[in-house]
Each structure stands twice: as structure tokens, then as C-alpha cells.
Amino acid sequence: MIKKSFGSNWWIVLMLGWMWMNVSWSSETTDESFTEMKGHIDAINETLTEVKNTVDKLNKIKVSGYVQAQWQVADGDGIASFAGGNFPMGVHQRFAIRRGRVKFAYEEKFSTYVVQLDVTQGGVRIKDAYLRVNDPWRLGLALTAGGFDRPFGFEISHSSGLRESPERSRIFQTLFPGERDIGFQFSYANEMGPLHFLNAKFGAFNGTGIEANENDNHKDIIGRIGVALPMYELNMALDGGVSLYRGKVRNNSKYYYEMENKTFKLDSSASNQWKYHDRTVYGVDVQYYADLPYIGGFQVRAEYLIGKQPSTEKSNAIYLGTDANTPLYQREIQGYYFKLIQNVGTKNQLVVKYDTFDPNTKVSGADVGASGSNLTAADLSYTTLGFGIIHHWDANLKVTLYYDKVTNEKANQAATGSLAPYREDLMDNVFTVRLQYRF
């Protein structure tokens, strides 16, 4: 009976076997598919992680910049000018890319890396290259190292993309060419706490600017202490500060000239060679802001500088040379500027600026050119009255029309040779039309 029952149901046995084999094969196929799918998912996750890391890094990069395209016309051909550089011989009008800045900043939680390039018809130059480290305790302390703005006064650190006048004052261009230097600084600025109104910067620098190598072993000390006093209830604010530049200039020759009775007296002692002389500048600056009823925003800015500047016979700028035959001339300098800015509506600004620079306070124009004085055109003072209008086309584009009326101190009427033209006011006024796009 059993054999008969088994034999009559043999097909059931075959079916069960087939089902077992099919289930086994299907299970193996499912395992392989799952493993393959898991591999794809892992690969996608790795790709997404890489993309996220890349996006996170890109989010830390800030790019900004501006370009200034301008047309200028001067009173005379080939003039020396502080309105964007000297005019070539035989030229009294020109187109130029005054500035073409691109700034890259990579920001971490407590540190920042910055590099800024300037692209003009003269080529590509580095304007900034520095790192900044902020304290992790949020005390407002920071260390900056590399090439960056000298921490002196207000106008140096006020961006050329925001400044209302096309150029900085003559005294700043003379004493601090290029605005930047290489070194390090400590700074403090904290909007919270009992010292929220105080800010300070202090550092040591080469003293040669960012485009020149160090030429001696002495480091220059630069610092500024400032205050910010907002008066919200009066719709006004008052800021200001005091600054110090304490440096040295090495005399590579044995020839040294110093003022005595309105004359440069020569000291040719052998001990003068390799001797250091003071380069010291003191400064004070103030900025006043007010929102005037029915008129609009109004600003007044002013700075005053006084000090000593070792330079050369025909230049009152900083001496960067190493020639053992170049005498050093010690001059006492002073200068100042004040600027008025009045908003007209929401898109226009009127600007008036007056600045003066006296490179040798020990003499007047009548002394320059006098027999035996050893004075040159580098000892004449200058004043510049600038005025213009700015139209903000939109948030990025602005148009500036500006006129610089430059007046030089007149030399002695008996002056001859290269000093003869300075017996009268030079034809060196400049009119500027500038378009600026900022992003």
C-alpha cells in the first residue's frame, strides 16, 4: 500500500523538488542583487560626501573686487601728478584702468587667508597677501601677518572702492606709497563689553612697502588707537584716533644734510655711513557722520600729520636705495586734509576736499632757489582743492566727476635751471571722469 501511494503521487515529489531548487536559486540571486545595490549606494554616498566637502570649502571662499576705468585731462603735457600717476611727456589726456582689483578670502572659524590682485594696463601686481587669526575666546583679539595696509590713520585703510575722492591725499601717497607693507600686527576690536568703543592696531613692518625687499635690519613700528562713539538718538556718530609711525632709515653714504638757518648743511664725516636716522610720523584723525533732516547724510573727515622724513636731494619720498654715493637729507614734514561729503537724495553725493603737504617746515618758498641753500623743488609745499559729484547708478555702478586744483609754493624769483618753472604756479590741475563697477 505504501509503495502504491508513493508511486501514484510521484509528481508531488517532483514539484516539491522543483520548488526547492527555484527558491534556492532565487535566494542566491536576491543576495547578489542586494550586494550590488549596496555597493552602488555606498559609491553614491562617497560621491555625495565629496561633493558636500567641496561645497563646504567653496562656501568659505569669498570673492569681491572692482574696476575703475577713467579718462583724465590735465592743464599741461607731461606733468607730475598725484591724481593717478604722472602723465607721459607730450601727453595731457589719457584713458586708464586706474584699479582692477580681485580679492579672494578663505574664511575658517578662527582664521582667514586673503590675497588681492590689481590688474591694470601696467600688469598684474599683488596688493594684499596675508593671514589673520582670531582668538577663540571671542575677546576681539587678532593676529595678522603678511602684506597688508599699514595701521596708520584713517585714509590708508579706507578702501579705494569706497573713497569719495579719486585718490588719497598727497601726504599719504608720499609718506606711505602703496599703503601696504610687510610685517605683522596685533589688533583689538570688540563690539561687546566695557571697551566696545575702543579699537587698536599695533605692529612691526619692513618699512619698504609691499613691492620692495627689506634693505636694512631695522623694523618700523606702526600703531593706531581709535574710538567709535555712535549717538543713535541724535542720528550722528563721531570716530577718531591717534597714530604713530616709528622707523629708521639707514644712510648708505657718508654724506648727510641737515637743516640749519634755512639751509641744508653737509656733514661728510666717515661715521655717517651706515648710521640710522629717525623716520617718525605722528597723526590724528577724526570722522563725523550725521543724518541731517530734509538734506540727508553728511560727513566730515580730517587728518593731521607731523614728523621727520629722511629722503634725498630731489625727492621727499621714503628713501629705499642702497647707493653708497646718495646723500641723505633729513626733512621735517607736516600736512593735513579735510573732506566734506553731502548726500543729495539716494543716488548722488557732493564732495569737497582740501589737502596740503609741506615737505620741509623749516623753509618757505622764497628760500628755495636762494644761493647756497641746497634746497630743491622737493622742499616746496603743495595744496590741492578737489571737488566733484558722484552718481550711484545702481548698487554696483557709480560715476565720478572730479577736479583737482593743485597749487605749488612759489620758489625764489631768482631761481634758475630746473627750479625756474617753480617761480610760478605749475599747470598741473587734473579733471577726472571715472566709472567704477564693484561686486
Task: Give the integer Cα–Cα distance in Å for 229 and 390.
Answer: 27
Looking at the structure, tell me whether residues 210 and 358 fall in a common domain: yes
Looking at the structure, tell me whether residues 46 and 186 fall in a common domain: no
Q: What angle do CA 411, 84, 158 make, to 5 degrees?
A: 110
What pLDDT, on a 0 to 100 scale, did the predictor assign at position 6?
44
Mean pLDDT of the residues in the chain: 91
Q: 43 is in which domain, residue-wise?
A: 1-59
Q: CA 19, 21, 25, 31 torsion: positive or negative?
A: positive
Q: Tell me if 170 sits within 8 A of 82, measured CB to CB.
A: yes
Looking at the structure, tell me whether residues 37 and 131 fall in a common domain: no
Please tell me the pTM assigned to this model. Answer: 0.87
Task: Give the integer Cα–Cα distance in Å for 205 and 383.
Answer: 30
Per DSSP, the three-state class of 414 is: coil
Mean pLDDT of 332-352: 97
- Cα 67–chain centre separation: 14
Looking at the structure, tell me whether residues 67 and 53 fall in a common domain: no
Q: What is the pLDDT of residues 22-34, one digit of tens each?
A: 555 455 556 666 6
Q: How far apart are the first and last CA of the chain?
A: 99
pLDDT of 302 above 90: yes
Find all residues with CB under 8 Å of 44, minimum gap 6, and list them.
none
Task: Give the integer Cα–Cα distance in Å for 301 and 285.
Answer: 8
Task: Compute the residue count for the chain.
Answer: 439
Task: Give the integer Cα–Cα distance in Å for 376 and 379.
Answer: 6
Task: Give the integer Cα–Cα distance in Å for 396 and 374.
Answer: 51
Q: What is the pLDDT of residues 35-47, one digit of tens each?
A: 766 666 777 777 7
Looking at the structure, tell me whether residues 252 and 105 fall in a common domain: yes
Q: What percent of the chain has pLDDT over 70?
A: 91
What pLDDT, on a 0 to 100 scale, did the predictor assign at position 17?
59
> Among residues 10, 41, 59, which one ends one of the domains?
59
Which of the four pLDDT bands, split at 50, 70 and 90, describes residue 323?
confident
CATH number of the domain that residue 311 is part of: 2.40.160.10
Looking at the structure, tell me whether residues 143 and 31 fall in a common domain: no
Which amino acid makes up residue 424?
A: E
Q: What is the pLDDT of residues 204-244, one digit of tens each?
A: 999 999 988 888 899 999 999 999 999 989 899 999 999 99
Q: Which helix (H) or strand (E) holds 12?
A: helix 10-59
Which of the four pLDDT bands, split at 50, 70 and 90, describes residue 14?
low
Q: Which of 155-169, 196-210, 233-247, 310-324 shows the lowest per-residue confidence on average (mean pLDDT)?
A: 310-324
Looking at the structure, tell me whether residues 6 and 152 fall in a common domain: no
Counted domains in the chain? 2
Looking at the structure, tell me whether residues 29 and 175 fall in a common domain: no
What pLDDT, on a 0 to 100 scale, did the predictor assign at position 384?
98
258 half-sphere exposure, CB direction, 13 A CA radius: 8
> Among residues 42, 59, 76, which one ends one of the domains?
59
Looking at the structure, tell me whether residues 78 and 18 fall in a common domain: no
What pLDDT, on a 0 to 100 scale, did the predictor assign at position 251?
94
> Among residues 37, 59, 81, which one ends one of the domains?
59
Looking at the structure, tell me whether residues 194 and 318 fall in a common domain: yes
Looking at the structure, tell me whether residues 27 and 135 fall in a common domain: no
Q: Tell me if 157 sits within 8 A of 128, measured CB to CB.
A: no
Looking at the structure, tell me whether residues 343 and 380 fall in a common domain: yes
Residues of the chain by 3-state class (helix, strand, coil), percent to 5: 20, 45, 35
What pLDDT, on a 0 to 100 scale, did the predictor assign at position 55?
76
